[in-house]
Structure 1
Amino acid sequence: MGASRLLVSGIACLIDFDDAALSGPPASAVPTVRSGVDLLIEDGRIVEVGAGLPAGTAEVIDASDRVVLPGFVDTHRHLWLTALRALTTETDLGGYLESVAGRLGPRFTPDDLRASAYFGALECLDAGVTTVQDYAHAMRSPDHADAAVSALEASGIRAVFGYGFPVFSTARDLVDIRRVRERYFPADDGSLLTMALSPMGPSYSPIESVREDWKLARELALPIAVHVGAGPVAQRPIATLEREGLLTAGTVYVHANSLPDEELRLIASSGGSVAIAPAVEAQMGHGAPMIGRLRAAGIGYGLGVDVVTATAGDMFTLMRAALVTGYLGAGSRPSPADVLRAATLGGAEVLGLAGRIGSLRAGKRADLVLLRADAPNLLPLHHDPVGTVVSSAHPGNVDTVIVDGRVVKRDGALVAGSLPAAREALLAAAHRIAG
Structure 2
Amino acid sequence: MKTLLSGGTVVSMDPAVGDLDRSDVLVENGVIVKVAERIDAPDAQVIDASDRIVLPGFIDNHRHTWQTAFRGIGADWTFPQWAAAMHGTVKPHYTPEDVYVATLLGRLEALHSGITTMLDWYHVAQGHEHEDAAVAALRAAPARSIFCLGAGWAAPHSVDDDIRRVRSKLDGDDLVTMAWGLRGVEDTSIDTVTRELKLAAELGLRTSLHTGSDGTQRPIAELREHGLLRNTTTFVHANGISDEELRMLADAGSSISISPDVELKMGFGSPVTGRALAAGLRPTLSIDVVPSVAGDMFSAMRAAFAAQRGLDGGLRARDLLQFATLDAAQSCGLDARTGSVTPGKDADIILLRTDDLTVFPVTDPVGTIVSAGHAGLVDTVLVAGRVVKRDGALVDGDLSALKSRLLASRNRIATAADVPLDGSWDPQPTSA
Question: What interval of TM-score do these two structures reach, taking the shorter chain for normalisation?
Answer: over 0.9
CA drift at 1:173: 3.0
The runs of 5 or more residues in structure 2 that have no matched partner are 416-432
Partner Cα distance (1:311, 1:113) in 2: 20
Residue matched to 2:307? 325
Answer yes or no: is the 8 Å Cα contact 2:7–2:24 preserved in 1: yes
- Over 3 Å counting, the alpha-carbon distance change for 1:89 and 1:106 in structure 2 is same
Output the amino acid matched with 2:188.
S
Change (3 A) 1:19 1:220: farther
2:321 aligned with 1:340: yes
CA distance in 2, matches of 1:212, 1:140: 23
For residue 43 of structure 1, what is the aligned residue in structure 2?
Answer: 29
TM value normalised by structure 1? 0.91
8 Å Cα contact 1:348-1:354 kept in structure 2: yes
Match of 2:366 in 1: 386
* Equivalent of residue 127 in structure 1, options 113, 120, 125: 113
Residues 387 and 260 (structure 1 numbering): CA distance in 2 closer, same or farther, change over 3 Å?
same
> How does 1:367-378 map onto structure 2 within 5 Å?
367-378=348-359
State the AA in 2 paired with 1:147.
A
Alpha-carbon distance in structure 2 between the residues aligned to 1:418 and 1:175: 36
Displacement of 1:429 after TM fit? 1.1
Please state whether the residue corresponding to 1:357 is helix, strand or coil.
coil
Q: Confirm or deny: 8 A CA contact 1:274 1:300 kept in the other structure.
A: yes
**TM-score (norm. length: structure 2):** 0.92
Q: CA-to-partner distance for each residue in 1:33-76, whole Å, 9 max, x for gaps?
A: 22121101011100001122123221110011111111011111
**Aligned-partner SS, 1:227:** strand
The equivalent residue for 1:205 is: 188
1:66 touches 1:372 (CA, 8 Å); kept in 2?
A: yes
Once the two structures are overlaid, the 10-residue window that deviates more, 50-59 or 336-345, is 50-59
Q: Deviations over 1:149-193 (max 9, x none)?
A: 1111100110111010475668653211101111222x5x7x112
Kept after mapping to 1: 8 A contact 2:352/2:380: yes
- The correspondence of residues 184-263 of structure 1 with structure 2, limited to 5 A, is 184-185=170-171, 187=172, 191-230=174-213, 235-263=217-245
Residue deviations 1:354-410 (CA, integer Å, cap 9, x gap): 11000001000000111111100111112x221111111211111111111011110
Q: Percent identity?
A: 44
Q: Report the CA distance shift for 1:210/1:142 in structure 2 as closer, same or farther (over 3 A).
A: same
| Alignment-derived partner of residue 254 in structure 2 | 272
| Contact 2:32–2:344, Cα closer than 8 Å, also in 1 | yes
SS of the residue corresponding to residue 358 of structure 2 reads: helix
State which of 20, 27, 35 in structure 2 corresponds to 1:34. 20
Which amino acid in the other structure matches residue 142 of structure 2?
G
Letter of the 1:37 counterpart: S
**Alignment length, in residue pairs?**
415
Q: Where in structure 1 are there 5+ consecutive unaligned residues?
A: 21-30
C-alpha distance in 2 between matches for 1:143 and 1:170: 12
Q: Which runs of structure 2 are paired with 1:10-89 in the superposition (5 Å)?
A: 10-11=7-8, 13-18=9-14, 32-89=18-75
Q: Which of 118, 122, 128 is the equivalent residue of 1:136? A: 122
Residue in 2 that maps onto 1:354: 335
Match of residue 167, structure 2, among 150, 158, 181: 181
Letter paired with 1:239: A
* Alpha-carbon distance in structure 2 between the residues aligned to 1:153 and 1:5: 25
SS in 2 for 1:38: strand
SS in 2 for 1:177: helix
Task: Say what the alpha-carbon RMSD is for the aligned residues.
Answer: 1.9
Partners of 1:140 and 1:165 within 8 A in 2: no
Quick check: 1:8 aligned with 2:5? yes
Larger mean Cα displacement after TM superposition, 343-352 or 157-166: 157-166
Q: Any conservation in 2 of the 1:273–1:350 contact (CA below 8 Å)?
A: yes
> Within 2, Cα distance between the matches of 1:35 and 1:108?
49
The Cα of 1:225 is off from its aligned counterpart by 0.4
**Secondary structure of 2:76's aligned partner:** coil
- CA positional deviation for 1:341: 1.0
8 Å Cα contact 1:274-1:299 kept in structure 2: yes
Q: CA distance change for structure 1 residues 308 and 172 in 2, over 3 Å: closer, same or farther?
A: farther
